[in-house]
Amino acid sequence: MSGSNPFENLQEQLDDAAQYLDVGEDVLERLKHPERVLETTLSVEMDDGSLETFKAFRSQFNGDRGPYKGGIRYHPDVSRDEVKALSGWMVYKTAVADIPYGGGKGGIVIDPDEYSDGELERVTRAFATELRPFIGVDKDVPAPDVNTGQREMNWIKDTYETLENTTEPGVITGKAPENGGSAGRVEATGRSTMFAAREVFDYLGKDIEGASVAVQGYGNAGSVAASLIDDLGADVVAVSDSSGAIYNSDGFDTRKVKQYKAETGSVTGYGAATDELSNRDLLTLDVDLLVPAALENAVNGDLARDVQADVVVEAANGPLTPDADDVLTERGVHVVPDILANAGGVTVSYFEWVQNRQRFQWTEARVNDELEALITDAFDAMTDAYEKNDLPNFRTAAYVVAVQRVVDAYEGSGSWP
């Protein structure tokens, strides 16, 4: 029985894939735990002169294929187990995308809405100072995640470079273009979700043009995915954020909704001919495609029984529990897993890191073309494994591909010490 502990969910997903692989129990056990986790308490001065403490984590899950790689999240629900799970998913995400990284993830237990810009800068620099001995262009390369973006990445880069007395933009990705960021990085996660949706509709012989779509979560991943899927000719009929959901059977102008959310703080209240829905209503709408793009555990086994979408493409990390997966598999609903469908973010992070190391900027067109090639290759590798091994679902297939790549790298290195 799986539940809401994302770390246990990750371990269950690995067990599911291992049944179809020739991996010993000992090696599998190694792949189910992080190599190390930094847990720290940041002490930061607030604007009123008081001192506040914040718990923060960085999990380095596995480095067999390259430097640890993954974002840093700011959220009140951040926990050690969540960060461990998210870092593990990064291992298999970088492996399925076939980019030369391991997996890591970090987080601070904080609600950023409650703090001033100056306070957030001091919190971020305090975390960067703690991270400094552990990160590095060839060691561990952080990036944005929930509630962090270019601003925070610029602060971390600046703190690291100042303390190390060096210039090393590739120590972190997701920076602003002026600070060494890549063209196309902000849109990259949503762009991979769009490619995954396009590929899976094509694979299943369904038409994406005219397909109805519901998107849960309208942050960076969800809003970009909505607009790019809309550009393919689909109708985005429902979107939501943490304040609620909206529905319009004619489809939304997704970019206007994003603008409205930027101005008002939420998608709710948008447009006259719009119905307000609950989060559960949105997730169980009768649509062709459901894109969960918020947080973990959005759909559990119980809710999965009511999901009416034909296809689910995961823009969030870990939005379905393993129970939900089992129910959807049994009901014939196809799910393109997070480790493929949102791999665009880390893939363009990789392009940013390559550009930083070469001190050479790519055009946005080149970034998008190279991204498309890697995501479609990953999709083909997943569906090949699905067909060849007669696997129960796409998630197991993606893990079969990814775990095999990690095991090959591990076994190829020989044993140590």
Q: Which residues lie near ligand GLU (CB under 6 A)? A: 69-71, 93, 143, 145, 173-174, 317, 342, 345-346, 349
Min CB(69)–ligand GLU separation in Å: 5
Active site residue 84: no
**240 or 317: whose CB is closer to ligand GLU?**
317
**310 or 370: whose CB is closer to ligand GLU?**
370
Residue nearest to ligand GLU (CB): 71
Q: Indicate the residue type of 27.
A: V
Sheet holding 275-277, edge to edge: 275-277, 244-247, 235-241, 212-216, 289-292, 311-313, 334-336
**71 or 169: whose CB is closer to ligand GLU?**
71
Min CB(342)–ligand GLU separation in Å: 6
H/E/C letters for each residue in the chain?
A: CCCCCHHHHHHHHHHHHHCCCCCCHHHHHHHCCCCEEEEEEEEEECCCCCEEEEEEEEEEEECCCCCEEEEEEEECCCCHHHHHHHHHHHHHHHHHCCCCCCEEEEEEECCHHHCCHHHHHHHHHHHHHHHCCCCECCCEEEEECCCCCHHHHHHHHHHHHHHHCCCCHHHCCCCCHHHCCCCCHHHHHHHHHHHHHHHHHHHCCCCCCCCEEEEECCCHHHHHHHHHHHHCCCEEEEEEECCEEEECCCCCCHHHHHHHHHHHCCCCCCCCCCEEECHHHHHCCCCCEEEECCCCCCECHHHHCCCCCCEEECCCCCCECHHHHHHHHHCCCEEECHHHHCCHHHHHHHHHHHHHHHCCCCCHHHHHHHHHHHHHHHHHHHHHHHHHCCCCCHHHHHHHHHHHHHHHHHHHCCCCC
**17 or 186: whose CB is closer to ligand GLU?**
186
**219 or 301: whose CB is closer to ligand GLU?**
219
Min CB(18)–ligand GLU separation in Å: 23
Query: Which one is catalytic: 69, 93, 105, 261?
Result: 105
**90 or 381: whose CB is closer to ligand GLU?**
90
Min CB(255)–ligand GLU separation in Å: 23
**219 or 345: whose CB is closer to ligand GLU?**
345
User: Any idea which residues carry the catalytic annotation?
Assistant: 105
